[in-house]
Amino acid sequence: DADVTQTPRNRITKTGKRIMLECSQTKGHDRMYWYRQDPGLGLRLIYYSFDVKDINKGEISDGYSVSRQAQAKFSLSLESAIPNQTALYFCATSDPGGSYNEQFFGPGTRLTVL
Amino acid sequence: GENVEQHPSTLSVQEGDSAVIKCTYSDSASNYFPWYKQELGKRPQLIIDIRSNVGEKKDQRIAVTLNKTAKHFSLHITETQPEDSAVYFCAARESSASKIIFGSGTRLSIRP
């Protein structure tokens, strides 16, 4: 089945380290997103990309950067990790067909910054 | 930009009773309102959605209502069952950029 995958699934790192979270999809969708989930704060959009040459900031992009290497790959980087970036990170995709876009989420990456 | 507020943050209901989760949005031009369910340790998944040209939509035990004038929408779950226990997120599609803005989530617990 077509799916969205994320690597790693769990990661523990130290303050100041650079870390990359990777997302791949076999759904053939053009649109990809990165969200972070914190208890009581829901899902907040970090960055999104509507095609390979398109990158847009979301609600909380400070401290993060992204790279859209191909239609199927969208990576999120933390250049210098800090403890308040400890969270559950989700990648998602959507199909731009029509005016509405269901989000298909990956399994999530649990990141802990010590 | 769009802002979505969701209440309550936690909800506990007796099995068999109904549960209602409410959301408000700020962008009057928003035209799509999905609801996602996230079971413990799992990824969020779409369970139902409603478009701005419709006031109500039902799918078996779940229904959504939309009041465009008041800019609020609600999720109704009837005859609740243990498998309804999860975190539920409402969301609204921002008209200016075609991105989805999520509410803060409601943790629903079903008491046996």
What is the residue-level pLDDT of chain A in tens, covering all 114 positions?
779 999 999 999 999 999 999 999 999 999 999 999 998 888 999 999 999 999 999 999 999 999 999 999 999 999 999 999 999 999 999 987 655 678 899 999 999 999
Nearest by CB: B104 against A42, A48, A100: A42
Nearest to B65 by CA among B106, B28, B24: B24
The C-alpha of B72 sits at a distance from chain A's nearest C-alpha, in angstroms, of 18
* Residue among B36, B65, B38 at smallest CA distance from B52: B65
Q: Is residue B44 less than 8 Å (CB to CB) from chain A?
A: yes
Cα dihedral B93, A49, A75, A89 in deg (nearest 10):
-10
Distances (CA, A) of A97 to B6, B98, B109: 28, 12, 36
- Helix locations, chain B, DSSP H: none
Substitution target in B53, B102, B106 with the highest count of A β-carbons within 10 Å is: B102
Which of A77, A66, A70, A25 is closest to A51 using CA atoms? A70
The residues, ordered by sequence, that sit 6+ positions from B110 with a Cβ below 8 Å of its Cβ are: B12, B13, B14, B15, B80, B81, B82, B84, B85
Q: What is the pLDDT of residues B37-52, one digit of tens each?
A: 999 999 999 999 998 8
Partners of A87 in the β-ladder: A111
Nearest residue to B98 via CA among A36, A45, A106, A61: A45
Q: Which residue carries 């009581």 as its tokens?
A: A40
Chain B nearest C-alpha distance from A108 (Å): 7
Q: Tokens representing B27? A: 């962008």
Query: Maximum CA pair distance of chain A?
Result: 43
Q: Touching check for B98 and chain A: CB below 8 Å?
A: yes
Pick from B15, B13, B18, B86: nearest CA to B46: B86
Confidence of residue B62 (pLDDT cuts 50, 70, 90): very high
Rg of chain A on CA atoms, in Å: 13
What is the three-class DSSP state of B68?
Answer: coil
